[in-house]
Structure 1
Amino acid sequence: MDAVFRLLGWKESSFEDYQQAYATYGGNLLSDPRILKFIHSRFDLKPRFLIQRDQNDEIVAGVCIWDNLYIAGDQRVANKHGINRFPLNFDEIVLPISPDTRAVLPFRTKFLSDINHHPVRNSSHLLNAHREISIVRAVSAKTRSSRNRELRKFIDIGGSIHHVSEFSAENLMQMYATLFFQRRGKQIDLEYTRELLREIPDLPFGYVLSFEGEPCAMQWLMKSEDHQRVYLDYINAGMNTALSHLSIGTLVAWVNVRAAFEYGEKQAKQVRFSFGRPTADYKDRWCDRNPLYRVIA
């Protein structure tokens, strides 16, 4: 297998080389060196880092692989080793690859982002069971006006909005656990979320809605950034279903979508806000479906 890697231009590299590739070309949360370092310190994945260089010896692509075959972040490996216990979205992988290169990846995944489709020559959507991911679309002026009007009405009758930075990580997690139970009737295990935030505390993003002083709705969102994009992953939501007549699910989604695009504008970066797989009708109201690609290897 190593001979195939070399034949296709991939060379074994260091974590530092991979960090350089990420700093140059970016990637989402699953390819973020901080997340990889966190995961590798806890699971025996036999991680390897490989890079490609151009004729000027400049790095043009980087990849981390697990179990000597799969691209880091692939769902099959995440599920096998129990990595999916952590609040991470394993539905899309964005690799640090130059958009101008044309590489063949001798590694497997069914969750390659369309961002990497052009530079990865051996990727296919048609041979990937038409897998898709829901990416939040730009909001029209009409929708923006309507949602803001609904939000003002909510605030006028006793509602309020609070940025996640107003709470300690522990308080934020406890609120989420309570609201998740109110929505689904299931207890959520905070152990793994607590462990992740202890090491990488700046991951949460967004707002919590309260009504008459009590938290009533929130989306658990995780954020990462590279030099050109802000990546947001919607993990799950919690809400007080007794207040569903106030459309708090729609309102909390709107507050976070609005905040995401405002943040991206402030940072002068594109926003890629993922609602994960298109598993519910409400996602189509907020999102466009983007293709995911299978790497044929």
Structure 2
Amino acid sequence: MNSLYRMLGWQESSFDDYRQAYAIFGGSVLSDPRILQFIHRRFNLNERYFIKRDRANEIVGGVCVWDNHFVAGDQRVACKHGIDRYPLNFDELVLPIKLSHSTVLPFRTKFLSNLNQCALRNSSHLLNARREVSIVRDVSAKTRSSRNRELNKFLKAGGSVHCVSEYDHESLMNTYAELYFQRRNQRIDMDTTRELLSEIPDLMFGHILAFNGEPCAMQWVVKSEDHRQVYLDYINAGMNLSLSHLSVGTLAAWVNVRAALEYGERHQKQVRFSFGRPTGDYKERWCDREPLYRVIA
């Protein structure tokens, strides 16, 4: 099998080589070297790193592999090992591969991003049960105006908006846990959430809505970024359902979408904001569906 990898131009390498590829080409949250290290410290995945170089010996791609055959972050492996108990989104993988370089990737996944498919000759959407992911679309001037009117109505009624950076990790988790319980009547796993934030303290992004001083709605959003792009994953939400007449769920999404767009403009980076699988009608309000690709190996 190693001879096949070499024949296709992929050489087994070090974590530092992979981190260099990520620094050059970027990738989604699950491809972030910080996230991979966090996971590898806790699970036996037989992780391996592979790098591809061009004829000038320049890196044109990198990939981390789990269980010898699967691209790191693949949902099947995450569920098998229980990695999905951490508040991360396993619905899309963006790999640090040069988009203009056409190659064959000798590792499997069914969750390859539309961003990578043009570079991988052995990827297919048609052979992938037509899996899709919801990606936030550009916001029209009309939508922006409508949402800001709703937000101003909420603020005048006694609402307020607070950045997650205003909260320490324990307060942030407690707030989310309570709002999640109010929405679903279920409790989140505080221990895994605490582990993640303790090791990667700048992972969180977004805002919390409060009404009359009490938190009332929030999305759990995680962030990774490279020198060109910001990747945001919406994991889940919590809210006080008694305030649904104030559209707190819609507003919780809007303040984060708006903040993401402003963050991208301020840092002159593209923003890719994923709402995960298209599982709810409300996602259609914010997102376009993009195909996911199966890497056939």
TM (normalized to structure 1)? 0.99
1:133-183 C-alpha deviation (Å, 9 max, x unpaired): 000001100110111011111100100000001100110000000000000
Report the Cα offset of residue 228 of structure 1: 1.0
C-alpha distance in 2 between matches for 1:190 and 1:223: 19
Corresponding residue for residue 42 of structure 2? 42
- Secondary structure of the residue aligned to 2:176 is helix
Corresponding residue for residue 71 of structure 1? 71
How does 1:72-151 map onto structure 2 within 5 Å? 72-151=72-151
Q: 4+ runs of 1 displaced by more than 6 Å?
A: none
- Secondary structure of the residue aligned to 1:196 is helix
C-alpha distance in 1 between matches for 2:281 and 2:156: 29
C-alpha distance in 1 between matches for 2:257 and 2:281: 17
- Is 1:33 aligned to 2:55, yes or no? no
Corresponding residue for residue 226 of structure 1? 226
Corresponding residue for residue 14 of structure 1? 14
Report the Cα offset of residue 96 of structure 1: 0.4
1:190-228 C-alpha deviation (Å, 9 max, x unpaired): 110100110000011000000001000000000000111
C-alpha distance in 2 between matches for 1:216 and 1:8: 53
Number of aligned residue pairs:
297
C-alpha distance in 2 between matches for 1:140 and 1:102: 35
C-alpha distance in 1 between matches for 2:32 and 2:24: 12
Corresponding residue for residue 194 of structure 1? 194
C-alpha distance in 2 between matches for 1:226 and 1:251: 28
- Is 1:153 aligned to 2:160, yes or no? no
Over the matched positions of the two proteins, sequence identity in percent amounts to: 70
C-alpha distance in 2 between matches for 1:71 and 1:145: 42
Corresponding residue for residue 23 of structure 1? 23
TM (normalized to structure 2)? 0.99
C-alpha distance in 2 between matches for 1:87 and 1:24: 27
Corresponding residue for residue 282 of structure 1? 282
C-alpha distance in 2 between matches for 1:68 and 1:55: 26
C-alpha distance in 2 between matches for 1:7 and 1:217: 52
C-alpha distance in 2 between matches for 1:110 and 1:228: 25
- Secondary structure of the residue aligned to 1:223 is strand
C-alpha distance in 1 between matches for 2:87 and 2:177: 13
Report the Cα offset of residue 100 of structure 1: 1.2
C-alpha distance in 1 between matches for 2:20 and 2:214: 45
1:252-271 C-alpha deviation (Å, 9 max, x unpaired): 11111000000011110110
Long gaps (5+) in structure 1: none
Long gaps (5+) in structure 2: none
Letter paired with 1:275: F
Report the Cα offset of residue 59 of structure 1: 0.6
